[in-house]
C-alpha cells in the first residue's frame, strides 16, 4: 500500500466564486454534507472575510461537518484571519488557510511589496493564525511563476511560524507537467524544514493541464492535492477531483499505489448534485462523469465491450457510482421497505436520508411512469430540497398552445391560506406560465437564464428545469423536475421566487 494523499476540496470557495456557480447557504450546506460523504479530508468552506453571507456560510458548514477539516481562506492580514477564525472556530477540526503572493509580477504590481516585506508579512500572518488555530495552511500565490529559492525561503518562514501545510499553487495555469514536477522536487529538497509540513498543490486549468500537473506533483512527492468537483473554479477552473482520483486508481502502477480516502462510488452522485445545485451541466464528453464517458457507439467498440468490458473500459461505471439503467421491480404499489433496500443497493444510506420526502416523491413519480430505473431513483435522491419557507406552491396549471394560436396559461397557486389564480398569454407556454405567476406574486422578476434537460431516458423521461431570476438586486436560482417539462419549468420558477422572498 502506497502513501495516502490528503484531498483538499475547494468547490465551495474557489469553485463557487466562479461566474454562474454561486450557491446560497442552504445549497452550500447540502454540498458540504455530500463532500464529507465522498470522503474528502478538507472542505474549504469559503472566504469568510469576503462578505457577511460568506461568513455565515463558513460558520454553518463548520458547525455541520463531523469528520472533515473545515477551512476558510484568508489574506495575510489580521482582519481577514480574525474573521476566518470567528467562522471556523465552531468546527470539530478547524483550519485557517492564509495566502500571500510570491511572484515578482504580483509583488510589484498587486502587493507593492518587496521580497523582504513579503517574508515579514508571512511570518506575522502565520504566527497570528497559529495563535488562534492549531491547524494553519500557507499558500504562496502564483508560486509557479515565482523564483524557486524565494518560495523555499517563504515556506521555511511559514513553517517556522507554525504552518503545518504549505501550498504551491499554479495560480494562472501556466506550468507544464514536467516543469511542475521539477518545481515540487526542488521545494522538497531545498526547503530546510519541509519535513515539518505537508506540501500541497493547487492547479488551475487555463491551458488544460490542471489534472496533469496535479498528478505530476503527486508523482514528485506532494502530500496534498487541492481540487474541485467537476473542475469548477476561477476562469477555466481547477483540477477536477473525480479525474485526479480516478487516474490514481486506474493507474496505481504509475503512482506507487498512492491512495486517497475518496469513496469512488460517490463520484458520479457528487458531480450530479453539483450540477443540480448550480444549474451548470458538465459537457457530455467530460472525463469520468460525463454522459458519454461510458457510451460506446462504434461497432468495433460495441463488439469488444460485449466480449469483455475491459477492452474499452479502464474503470467500470459501477466503480464510479454511475447507474447502469437496470430496471427496478418497483412501481406505485411498492412499499417503503422495498425502496430503502434498492437505495442501499445503489450505494445510498437510507438511515441518514429524508425518507419521508423521498418516498412521497417516489409515489408521485410512480403514478406517471410504469417502470422506474436506477437513474430515476438517483434523481429523486439528489433532488434539491432546501429548508426554506415555501411561500407560493403550485396547485394546478392549464396550458393552451399551438402553432396557430397565442399561448395561454392558467395558473393557480397557494399563497399561505389563500388560493390565487391568474391567466396570461406569452410567446409560448413557458413564457405565458411565468407571466401568470408574476401576476399572482406581484413580483416583477427578470429571467436571467432558463435551461431544460432530460435527466433520464425514454418517452416518460424526467425533465429538469433550471432558472435564474433577479429581483430588487438579488439573484436566485430555482430548479424543478417532472415528467412534464412545463410543470418542471413552473416548479423551477416558483422555487426561485420562494428563495427571493426567503433571502430578501
Are 121 and 39 part of one and the same domain? yes
User: Is residue 227 assigned to a domain?
Assistant: yes
What's the residue count for the chain?
504
- Distance between CA atoms of 258 and 260, rounded to whole angstroms? 7
Domain boundary among 331, 358, 382: 382
Are 209 and 295 part of one and the same domain? no
Are 356 and 458 part of one and the same domain? no
Domain hosting residue 314, numbered range: 290-321
Give how far Cα 40 sits from Cα of 209, 212, 215, 222, Å: 22, 20, 17, 17
**Count of CB atoms situated within 10 Å of the CB of 257:** 11
pLDDT number for residue 361: 80
User: Is residue 221 assigned to a domain?
Assistant: yes
- Distance between CA atoms of 330 and 140, rounded to whole angstroms? 54
Give how far Cα 124 sits from Cα of 97, 131, 133, 273, Å: 14, 11, 14, 40
User: Is residue 249 assigned to a domain?
Assistant: yes
For every residue of 257-319, DSSP letters joined together read: T-B-S--GGGHHHHHHHHHHHH--PPPTT-TTTSTTTT---SHHHHHHHHH-GGGT-SS-GGG
Are 143 and 12 part of one and the same domain? yes
DSSP letter for 322, please: -
pLDDT number for residue 149: 98
Tally of domains in the chain: 4
**Residue 92 in grid coordinates:** 470539530
Are 350 and 406 part of one and the same domain? no
DSSP letter for 351, please: G
3-class DSSP assignment, residue 394: strand
Are 181 and 199 part of one and the same domain? yes
User: Is residue 1 assigned to a domain?
Assistant: no
Please calculate the CA angle 133-88-194 and round it to the nearest 5 degrees. 40
**Count of CB atoms situated within 10 Å of the CB of 108:** 11
Q: Which residues pair with 420 in a beta bridge?
A: 413
Q: Tens digit of pLDDT for each residue in 17-46?
A: 887 788 889 889 989 999 999 999 999 999
- Which H or E run contains 123? helix 115-132
- Which H or E run contains 185? helix 177-190
CATH of the domain at 491: 3.30.160.270
pLDDT number for residue 329: 55
CATH of the domain at 122: 3.20.20.70
Are 114 and 178 part of one and the same domain? yes
Domain boundary among 278, 305, 339: 278
Q: Tens digit of pLDDT for each residue in 147-173?
A: 999 999 999 999 999 999 999 999 999
User: Is residue 376 assigned to a domain?
Assistant: yes
| Residues of the chain falling short of pLDDT 50 | 296-303, 305-306, 327-328, 385
Are 271 and 197 part of one and the same domain? yes
User: Is residue 41 assigned to a domain?
Assistant: yes
Domain boundary among 364, 382, 400: 382
- Distance between CA atoms of 466 and 351, rounded to whole angstroms? 29
- Which H or E run contains 379? helix 374-382
User: Is residue 284 assigned to a domain?
Assistant: no
- Distance between CA atoms of 444 and 471, rounded to whole angstroms? 7
Are 410 and 373 part of one and the same domain? no
User: Is residue 283 assigned to a domain?
Assistant: no
Are 424 and 481 part of one and the same domain? yes
Are 259 and 338 part of one and the same domain? no
pLDDT number for residue 217: 98
Give how far Cα 276 sits from Cα of 380, 393, 394, Å: 11, 21, 21
Q: Look at the alpha carbons of 293, 280, 7, 205 in this order and tell me if their dihedral is positive or negative.
A: positive
Are 295 and 375 part of one and the same domain? no
- Distance between CA atoms of 155 and 149, rounded to whole angstroms? 10
User: If you search the block for the grid coordinates 474573521, which residue do you land on?
Assistant: 83
pLDDT number for residue 295: 60
pLDDT number for residue 298: 42
Amino acid at each position: 500500500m502506497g502513501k495516502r494523499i490528503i484531498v483538499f476540496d475547494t468547490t465551495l470557495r474557489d469553485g463557487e466564486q466562479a461566474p454562474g456557480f454561486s450557491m446560497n447557504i442552504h445549497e452550500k450546506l447540502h454540498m458540504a454534507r455530500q463532500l464529507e460523504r465522498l470522503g474528502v479530508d478538507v472542505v474549504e468552506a469559503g472566504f469568510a472575510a469576503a462578505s457577511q453571507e460568506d461568513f455565515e456560510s463558513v460558520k454553518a458548514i463548520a458547525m455541520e461537518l463531523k469528520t472533515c477539516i473545515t477551512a476558510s481562506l484568508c489574506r495575510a492580514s489580521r482582519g481577514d484571519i480574525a474573521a476566518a477564525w470567528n467562522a471556523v472556530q465552531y468546527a470539530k477540526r478547524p483550519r485557517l488557510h492564509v495566502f500571500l503572493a510570491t511572484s515578482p509580477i504580483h509583488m510589484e504590481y498587486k502587493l507593492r511589496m518587496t521580497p523582504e516585506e513579503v517574508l515579514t508579512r508571512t511570518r506575522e500572518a502565520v504566527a497570528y493564525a497559529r495563535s488562534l488555530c492549531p491547524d494553519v495552511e500557507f499558500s504562496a500565490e502564483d508560486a509557479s511563476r515565482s523564483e524557486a529559492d524565494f518560495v523555499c525561503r517563504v515556506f521555511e518562514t511559514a513553517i517556522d511560524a507554525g504552518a503545518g501545510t504549505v501550498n504551491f499553487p499554479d495560480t494562472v495555469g501556466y506550468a507544464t507537467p514536467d516543469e511542475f514536477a521539477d518545481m515540487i522536487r526542488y521545494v522538497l529538497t531545498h526547503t530546510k524544514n519541509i519535513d515539518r509540513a505537508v506540501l500541497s498543490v493547487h492547479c488551475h486549468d487555463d491551458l488544460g493541464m490542471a489534472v496533469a500537473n496535479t498528478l505530476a506533483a503527486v508523482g514528485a512527492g506532494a502530500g496534498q492535492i487541492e481540487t474541485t468537483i467537476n473542475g469548477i473554479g476561477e476562469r477555466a477552473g481547477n483540477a477536477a477531483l473525480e479525474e485526479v482520483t480516478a487516474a490514481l486508481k486506474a493507474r496505481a502502477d504509475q503512482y506507487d499505489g498512492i491512495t486517497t480516502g475518496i469513496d469512488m462510488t460517490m463520484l458520479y452522485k457528487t458531480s450530479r448534485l453539483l450540477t443540480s445545485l448550480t444549474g451548470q451541466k458538465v459537457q457530455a464528453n467530460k472525463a469520468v462523469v460525463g454522459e458519454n464517458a461510458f457510451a460506446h457507439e462504434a461497432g468495433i467498440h460495441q463488439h469488444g465491450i460485449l466480449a469483455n468490458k475491459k477492452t474499452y473500459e479502464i474503470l467500470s461505471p459501477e466503480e464510479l457510482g454511475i447507474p447502469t439503467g437496470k430496471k427496478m421491480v418497483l412501481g406505485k404499489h411498492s412499499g417503503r421497505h422495498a425502496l430503502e433496500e434498492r437505495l442501499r443497493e445503489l450505494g445510498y444510506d437510507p438511515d441518514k436520508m429524508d425518507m419521508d420526502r423521498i418516498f412521497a416523491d417516489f409515489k408521485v413519480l410512480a403514478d406517471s411512469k410504469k417502470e422506474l430505473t436506477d437513474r430515476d431513483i438517483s434523481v429523486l435522491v439528489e433532488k434539491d430540497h432546501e429548508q426554506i419557507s415555501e411561500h407560493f406552491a403550485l396547485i394546478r396549471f392549464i396550458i393552451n398552445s399551438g402553432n396557430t394560436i397565442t399561448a395561454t396559461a392558467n395558473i393557480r397557486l397557494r399563497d399561505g391560506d389563500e388560493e390565487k389564480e391568474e391567466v396570461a398569454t406569452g410567446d409560448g407556454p413557458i413564457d405565458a406560465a411565468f407571466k401568470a405567476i408574476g401576476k399572482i406574486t406581484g413580483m416583477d422578476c427578470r429571467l436571467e437564464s432558463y435551461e431544460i434537460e432530460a435527466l433520464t431516458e425514454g418517452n416518460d423521461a424526467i425533465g429538469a428545469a433550471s432558472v435564474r431570476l433577479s429581483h430588487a438586486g438579488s439573484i436566485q436560482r430555482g430548479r424543478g423536475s417532472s415528467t412534464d417539462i412545463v410543470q418542471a419549468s413552473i416548479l423551477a420558477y416558483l422555487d426561485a421566487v420562494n428563495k427571493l422572498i426567503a433571502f430578501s
